[in-house]
């Protein structure tokens, strides 16, 4: 029987994770009426940071779409319990386990995956685990409340009240609210 080699999991930087979910995820694309547009290529992503991707086995657009579709529900969780349950699901899906490794006297935790073909999902999952270790408030992982947008974001504001993926979505909503308010005022005075 062939021994299955475990690979070390490399966490994705959070902005990269958010980028992948929003560019390749079906939910954000369909909500933005971009479901029929061709996906950006995996090569275009790798070209942005070739040194980082050198840690990963080759992947294509299908892998990016699968990963994005599995990660989006974490951001769409409505309770902490749901978020935890979904992340536990991803840990088993990517066959991830923590192991301790050492360098001289320094002992530290690393994660391995028994499914190297799931390295991207494992890296995405680990980046969320790492994030929650520092910021356990899972309500800060959110999806945009803007029109035609369910893009994900990580709220790093001091107050933790972010609701939009971007200033573009926030400004669009403000303009709309302003116009609606003006219309209501005009109707009330006529
Ligand atoms: Zn948005």
Q: Where are the domains of the chain?
A: 7-189
**Buried/exposed code over 82-112 (b: 16+ C-beta within 10 A; e: otherwise):** ebeebbeebbeebbbeeeeeeeeeeeeeebb
Q: State the average pLDDT for the chain.
A: 94
- Which pLDDT band holds residue 2 (cuts at 50, 70, 90)? very low
Is the pLDDT score of 34 beyond 50? yes
Q: How many CB atoms lie within 10 A of CB 117?
A: 13
Give residue 114 CA to ligand 1 midpoint distance, Å.
36
Q: Can you give the pTM of this predicted structure?
A: 0.91
Q: What is the average per-residue pLDDT within 1-25? A: 88
Residue-wise pLDDT for 114-151, tens only, equals 999 999 999 999 999 999 999 999 999 999 999 999 99
Give residue 11 CA to ligand 1 midpoint distance, Å.
25
Give residue 84 CA to ligand 1 midpoint distance, Å.
24
Give residue 173 CA to ligand 1 midpoint distance, Å.
10
- Which pLDDT band holds residue 4 (cuts at 50, 70, 90)? low
Give residue 166 CA to ligand 1 midpoint distance, Å.
6
Give residue 107 CA to ligand 1 midpoint distance, Å.
41
The fraction of the chain above a pLDDT of 70, given in percent, is 97
Give residue 43 CA to ligand 1 midpoint distance, Å.
25
Is the pLDDT score of 1 beyond 70? no
Higher pLDDT, 190 or 142: 142
- Which pLDDT band holds residue 5 (cuts at 50, 70, 90)? confident
CA angle 109, 154, 59 (to 5 degrees): 65
Q: DSSP code of 3?
A: P
Q: What is the average per-residue pLDDT within 86-114? A: 97
Give residue 22 CA to ligand 1 midpoint distance, Å.
10
Give residue 147 CA to ligand 1 midpoint distance, Å.
7
Q: What is the average per-residue pLDDT within 89-117? A: 96
- 7-189, which class in CATH? mainly alpha
């Amino acid at each position: 029987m062939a021994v299955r080699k475990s690979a070390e999991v490399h966490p994705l930087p959070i902005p990269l994770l958010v980028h992948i979910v929003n560019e390749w995820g079906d939910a954000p694309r369909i909500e933005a009426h971009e479901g029929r547009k061709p996906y950006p290529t995996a090569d275009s992503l790798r070209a942005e940071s070739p040194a980082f991707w050198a840690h990963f086995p080759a992947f294509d657009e299908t892998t990016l779409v699968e990963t994005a579709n599995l990660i989006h529900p974490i951001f769409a969780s409505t309770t902490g319990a749901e978020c935890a349950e979904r992340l536990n699901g991803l840990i088993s899906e990517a066959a991830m386990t923590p192991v301790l490794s050492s360098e001289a006297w320094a002992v530290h935790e690393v994660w391995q995956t028994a499914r190297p073909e799931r390295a991207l999902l494992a890296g995405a999952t680990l980046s969320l685990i790492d994030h929650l270790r520092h910021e356990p408030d899972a309500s800060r992982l959110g999806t945009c409340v803007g029109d035609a947008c369910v893009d994900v974001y990580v709220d790093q504001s001091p107050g933790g009240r972010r609701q939009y993926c971007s200033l573009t979505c926030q400004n669009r909503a403000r303009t709309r609210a302003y116009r609606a308010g003006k219309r209501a005022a005009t109707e009330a005075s006529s």
